[in-house]
A = this chain, B = another copy of it.
Amino acid sequence: MIFKTIAVFVLATITSVTSFSQTSPPAVVEDFKPSTLNQPGQEYPQVNSQGYARFRVKAPKADSVRVSLGLGGKGGTLLTKGEEGFWTGTTAGPMDEGFHYYNVTIDGGKFNDPGALNYYGSVRWESGIEIPAHDQDFYALKEVSHGNVQQVLFPSKSTNTSRRAFVYTPPGYSTDKSKKYPVLYLQHGWGEDETAWSNQGHANLIMDNMIAEGKIKPFIIVMTYGMTNEVKWGKMKEFKIDPFQTVLVDELIPYVDANFRTLANRDNRAMAGLSMGGMETKTITLNKPDVFGYYGLLSGGVYAPDDLSGKAKPKLVFISCGSKERPDGVNKSATDLKAAGYNAVSYVSEKTGHEFQTWRRSLHEMAPLLFK
């Protein structure tokens, strides 16, 4: 199968909405604990060892309270009213491991769960919940040296404003003052912004841990807003890459190279993105093959050998998705690229869909392959 880039991530999103297992669910184990993404001191939402999520929301005079997370396309989880004005409910089955966005519908209006922290997705700040994953160690906060995440405001003539980016600098950056680093430009998906890779993705902790274990050589990561939300969901074909490409290539990269100790050349510069950020990565790397040497599409389409032929050869093409998306297309792309003489690697995240656990894992798989 050959996928067009746009089609891949739209289809992937739709299919991944069904995030329950299809077998009949086991008995619910009563070992629920507060989600690690709760607001300070909040007991709900909770998760159990099987991956069920339980919600509890106070709304004494409400007629109906519904959580969007649950049976995809079937209205989520309906809460029932109990004592003291609290509405409670548990998902009908276990959720996929990792991070999920959700919201709460109170009497027909969409709000957030006051118990949970908020994360920018779907062009709004949504509630977030974390289902503990068997492999959560790789993005855990550990007693290792930590890099910094810097908010920078860089000048953008093309958009006539200062724009925000976050720059991960690895441990040692501030003390080893002569060392220069490669740079990965890493994009979020539609509905998200430049906060996603740090907040939802824990990109900084993933890097800190891999650097501490000696699995990768330190590099810088730059995350900025991809202007993805200027089109509505479902109108992706109307998205024009030019304004963002100008911001990224003509404004942000020169700013980063002037203000951080970078190795400012193609072979030390990568671009990757998730979902619509993958579409941006594909388009911009093909438009500007002399700017980036490493390409990564995370649930964000594929390259065909024809896309790359006649251009400066990438040092690596990394293509990934969740097993509940379209892994065949991802694997075939890497196979075809390798057959055509390219250094291509595919990765499929087991038992995850179009969600951040896929992308955390993808970053973890991709990082050791960069800047070799």
Contact = CB atoms under 8 A, between A and B. Distances in A.
A153 B209 CA distance: 13
Contact of A151 (B107, B118, B141, B150): B150
Contacts of A107: 59-63, 106-107
B148 A150 contact: yes
A196 interface: no
A152 interface: yes
A175 to B, nearest CB: 7
Contact of A229 (B40, B60, B153, B155): B40
A7 interface: no
Contacts of A143: 155, 162
Nearest to A141: B162
A147 to B, nearest CB: 8
A106 B111 contact: yes
Interface of A: 39-41, 57-64, 85, 104, 106-112, 114, 117-118, 123-125, 141, 143, 146, 148-155, 161-162, 167, 174-175, 177, 198, 204, 229, 258-260
A41 B104 CA distance: 20
15 contacts: A41-B229, A58-B110, A61-B64, A62-B62, A62-B108, A85-B108, A106-B107, A109-B114, A110-B114, A114-B124, A118-B125, A141-B153, A143-B162, A146-B154, A174-B260
Nearest to A161: B141
A123 B41 contact: yes
Contacts of A151: 148-151, 198, 204
Given A106-B107, A107-B106, A148-B150, A114 B114 contact: no
A58 to B, nearest CB: 5
A106 B64 contact: no
Given A58-B108, A146-B152, A150-B151, 7 more contacts: A41-B123, A57-B109, A111-B111, A111-B112, A112-B114, A118-B118, A141-B153
Contacts of A112: 111-112, 114
A66 to B, nearest CB: 11
A259 B229 CA distance: 37
B59 A174 contact: no
A208 to B, nearest CB: 8
A306 B167 CA distance: 47
